[in-house]
Amino acid sequence: MIEAQHLVKRFRDKKRGSVCAVDRVSFSCRPGEIYGLLGANGAGKTTTLRILATILAPTEGTALVAGYDVAKEPQKVRSRVGFLSTATALYGRLSAQEMVEYFGRLHGLDEFALRRRIDELFERLEMNDFRDRRCDKLSTGMKQKVSIARTLVHDPSVMIFDEPTVGLDVMAARTIVRFIRECRDNGKTVIFSTHVMGEVEKLCDHIGIIHGGKLLAEGTPSELRERYAMRDLEDVFVKVVEP
Amino acid sequence: MSLRNVGIVYRKELVDSLRDRRTVISMIVVPLLVMPLLTIGVGVLSARLVGEAMKEVPQVMVLGGDDSPHVKAELERMKDLRIVPAQPDYANEISNKQIRAAVEIPEGFESKLAAGESSTVKIYMYEGELKSGFGADRLQRFFRELRDRTVREHLAARQLPESLVRPFDIEEKNVAPPEKVGGAVLGGLVPYFIILLCLVGAMYPAMDLTAGEKERGTIETILCSPVSRTHLVLGKFLMVLTASIATAVLSILSMAVSFGIGKKMLLGAARGAVDSALQISITGRAVISIFFVVLPLAVFFSAALLAISLFAKSFKEAQSYISPLMIVVVLPAVAAVLPGVELSPALALVPVLNTSLVSKEIVTGTYHWNYIALIFLSSCVYAGVAIAIAVKLFQREDVLFRT
């Protein structure tokens, strides 16, 4: 479960002064549901998701993630969240297994549970062939799988994806899309940001259109199409962003 | 749970760093190679040069003295000098190292000697040139002996005692312990290298673990794990400290071994030629003491470097911040080597300089416990402040996500 209420994030910028990257954003996302945050570059998607993952602290407002307040109990939130973005790279000098082990240990898994969990994940994601290979020697697709295993090692109930398919080839992107769907089917709360309409249509149960830090429109894809009397979600997006 | 996470981070960073060629070079290869090269290499080379210079029979020129055949003949009979025919451009020949020195015997030298008149023998040499110095030394010894002999003969002829011209003798006695004699020369240099290597050892990992993580995009990955930022920075700090101490310990060890070997080689190579300046004796006690004095400095370096490089966006930026820091550290460390810079209560509070100074004293066998305690404490305070700053910086979003 994710419940964001009036989230505000202000940065101080040398040139522009105070910048409001996220401006009173509220939404909620239930378990077994995918919430898509749709917006152009610089709209505030990454900042919102980083607040939910407790990487950044909100300036104002609150967000409950898996029942914990992101500002008050960030560590509890992090231990129930899996966060994946194109910016979350791997440690190149660790092997695939060591990478996943490291995060499993940080999540407090004991060695026995960790071993079982890793065997299960490596089997499921078909990663056994490159288990002991260093991450910097892996292909993009393999790296993606290691990242997925890393986010899943503690079996989080909430998954946060920040533009997870940017820069990936078709095959790697498909792996991610399939994985997001699996998360929902396993009853996890899933939120992800993108500017790719195709992914939104394929995946999302709910959509929030964000622009200039503000959440301008929200609803299921069909609700939004009806509300703006347009069949194409891209047209809806443009209509919302440039009224 | 909390300390466990610091340990997990530390272990991972250690494995990660040991797989990095550049860290291994700065942490292990540099101290193990630089020290032996410096001591054995330079020592053996200089001993060999001195030995060779001493073995060489210097060619010298005798100018004039045609009316002093006895002195000339005596000079020619000297086994450790080779006399070459006189040339008018003797100065050039000395400069060009064709001959080592020249001696000018004044006109009527022997007759003046017999008559008891004063005259001046001039020795020409190239100041600062070792072999020229040896040549001049031998000439001087010859003429000094001749002078003494002449004095004795004159005294004997007048039936006067020798003590008339030599009423008393002067003798110098050294009371400094042997390590003090060697230590005074090289004592300041040893801690200087250790301090520098402590810094060098910490430099690369500090940049790699902070700015490097930002550059490679793993900082966001680790921040979304449940480890708290304080534990994260402490784990990283321990790794940087490990690298710093490893560099220092390895350099101390390799230094001790190379001094041991170097001393034997020096003594074997040129026996008497190697004077006390090249004889260094460092006790095990001194080595261990230096290690403990340098320890808080290593903590200080590690935390400070970590804080500074965390602020940088990329490895390159971190390097541009840290390179000037190198000079900031080198200057006080060098200042301690300068003769005349002595410990004082005020200097005992200057970071780096204080450690360098007290280490110099320790190497020379002097332990000022008051100063050692003061310096250890002040260094600990500086180290604590640096750690606190590093931890504080790690909590700041504008530092972690500087754009």
- Structure ipTM: 0.90
For residue A85, pLDDT over 80 is answered with yes
The lowest-confidence range among A56-60, B4-8, B46-50, B352-356 is: B46-50
CATH 3.40.1710.10 range(s) for chain B read 56-164
Q: Can you tell me the mean pLDDT for A156-185?
A: 88
The SS3 of residue A110 is: coil
What pLDDT shows up at residue B32? 83
Of the candidate ranges A149-163, B202-216, B281-295, the one whose mean pLDDT is the lowest: B281-295
What is the predicted pLDDT for the residue at B168? 84
Give the pLDDT score at B65. Answer: 83
Residue-wise pLDDT for B71-110, tens only, equals: 888 888 888 888 888 888 888 888 888 888 898 888 888 8
Counting every residue written for chain A, the total comes to: 243
> Does CATH number 3.20.20.70 belong to domain B56-164?
no
Quick one: pLDDT at residue B282?
62
% of chain A exceeding 90 in pLDDT: 64
Residue B273: predicted pLDDT: 45
DSSP B312-369: -SSHHHHHHHHHHHHHHHHHHHHHHHSTT----TTGGGSTTHHHHHHHHHHHTT---H
Helix axes B229-270, B2-18, angle to 10 degrees: 50
pLDDT for residue B275: 46
**pLDDT value at residue B37:** 77
Per-residue pLDDT band at A63 (split at 50, 70, 90): very high
Q: Which amino acid is at B69?
A: P
A-chain residues within 8 Å CB-CB of B227? 106
The counts of H helices and E strands in chain B are 18, 4
Test B398 with A98 for CB contact under 8 angstroms: no
Phi then psi for residue A75, to 5 deg, are -65, -40
CATH of domain A2-80+158-241: 3.40.50.300
Residue B203 distance to chain A (closest CA, Å) = 19
Residues B223-281: tens digit of each pLDDT: 988 888 999 999 999 999 999 998 888 887 887 777 777 666 655 544 444 444 444 55
**CA gap B250, B18 in Å, rounded:** 15
- Tens digit of pLDDT for each residue in B337-357? 777 778 888 888 888 888 888
A residues 91-120 near B, CB within 8 Å? 91-94, 98, 102-103, 105-108
Joined tokens for residue A9? 């994030």
Confidence of residue A208 (pLDDT cuts 50, 70, 90): very high
Q: Is B396 on the interface with A (CB under 8 A)?
A: no
Q: Secondary structure of B220-256 in the HEC alphabet?
A: HHHHCCCCCHHHHHHHHHHHHHHHHHHHHHHHHHHHH
**Do B53 and B96 contact (CB within 8 A), yes or no?**
no
Q: Which of A14, A49, A51, A103 to mutate to test the interface with B (most CBs of B within 10 A)?
A: A103
Q: Per residue in B310-326, is it b (16+ CB within 10 Å) or e — as a string?
A: bbbeebebbeeebeeee
A75/B220 Cβ within 8 A? no
**Looking at residue B240, what is its pLDDT?**
94
Predicted pLDDT at A187: 93
B229: contact with A, CB 8 A cutoff? no
C-alpha pair distances (Å), B205 with each of A51, B20, B22, B344: 30, 9, 9, 34
Q: What is the DSSP string of B272-305?
A: GGS-GGG-----HHHHHHHHHHHHHHHHHHHHHH
In the prediction, which pLDDT does B217 show? Answer: 87
Whole-number average pLDDT of chain B: 83
Tell me, what's the pLDDT at B278? 45
Does the structure show a pLDDT above 50 at A231?
Answer: yes
Query: Are residues A57 and B15, on separate chains, in Cβ contact within 8 Å?
Result: no
Pick the closest to residue B402 from B324, B304, B305, B309 (CA basis).
Answer: B309
Region A92-102: mean pLDDT is 94
Judged against a pLDDT cut of 70, whether residue B374 lies above it is answered with: yes
Q: Residue A12 — very low, low, confident or very high, per pLDDT cuts 50/70/90?
A: confident
Which tokens in the block code for residue B366? 């002097």
As given in the structure block, the two tokens for residue A76 are: 């509890």
Q: Give the residue among A232, A215, A230 at the shortest CA–CA distance from A35.
A: A215
d(CA A12, CA A7): 17
- The answer to whether B38 and A121 are in contact (CB under 8 A) is no
Cα–Cα–Cα angle for A193, A200, A159, rounded to 5 degrees: 45
Ranges A77-91, B122-136, B282-296, B372-386: which has the least confidence: B282-296
Nearest chain B residue to A59, by CA = B397
* Strand bridging mode A189-194 / A81-85: unpaired
Q: What confidence score (pLDDT) does residue B277 get?
A: 42
**Per-position DSSP letters for B24-47, written without gaps between them:** HIIIIIHHHHHHHIIIIIHHHHHH
When CB atoms are compared, the residue of A78, A88, A107 closest to B221 is A88
Burial A25-43 (b: 16+ CB within 10 A, else e): bebbbeeebbbbbbbeeeb
Q: Does A81 contact chain B (CB < 8 Å)?
A: yes
Torsion of CA A90, A79, B226, A19, to 10 degrees: 80
Chain A to chain B, count of Cβ pairs less than 8 Å apart? 62
| pLDDT confidence of residue B165 | 81
pLDDT above 60: residue B181: no
**Is the pLDDT assigned to residue B365 strictly greater than 90?**
no
Cα–Cα dist B103/B142, whole Å: 11
Does the distance separating the beta carbons of B220 and A85 come in below 8 Å? Answer: yes
Using DSSP, state whether A115 is helix, strand or coil: helix
Residue A203 DSSP label: H
Residues 6 or more apart in contact with residue B110 via CB below 8 angstroms: B67, B68, B69, B70, B71
Contacts of A25 (CB under 8 A, 6+ apart): A4, A6, A7, A8, A44, A48, A61, A210, A213, A214, A215
pLDDT of residue B301: 93
Contact (CB<8Å) A53/B224: yes
Dihedral class, residue B364 (left if φ above 0, else alpha if ψ from -120 to 50, else beta): alpha
Comparison of pLDDT for B118 and B188, the residue scoring more:
B118
Lowest mean pLDDT of B153-157, B175-179, B190-194, B326-330, name the range.
B175-179
pLDDT at residue A183 tops 60: yes
Q: Taking the model in full, what pTM does it have?
A: 0.80
In A, which residues are within 8 Å of B223 by CB distance? 55
Query: Is pLDDT above 80 for B41?
Result: no
B15/A contact by beta carbon, under 8 A: yes
pLDDT digit string, tens, across residues B305-319: 999 999 898 899 999
Report residue B56 as tokens.
């060489």
Sign of CA dihedral B13, B19, B21, B25: positive
DSSP 8-class letter at B106: P
- A29-47 pLDDT, tens per residue? 999 999 999 998 888 999 9
Residue of B17, B22, B208, B221 to mutate, testing the A interface (most A Cβ within 10 Å of its Cβ): B221
Out of B216, B226, B397, the one facing A92 most closely (by C-beta) is B216
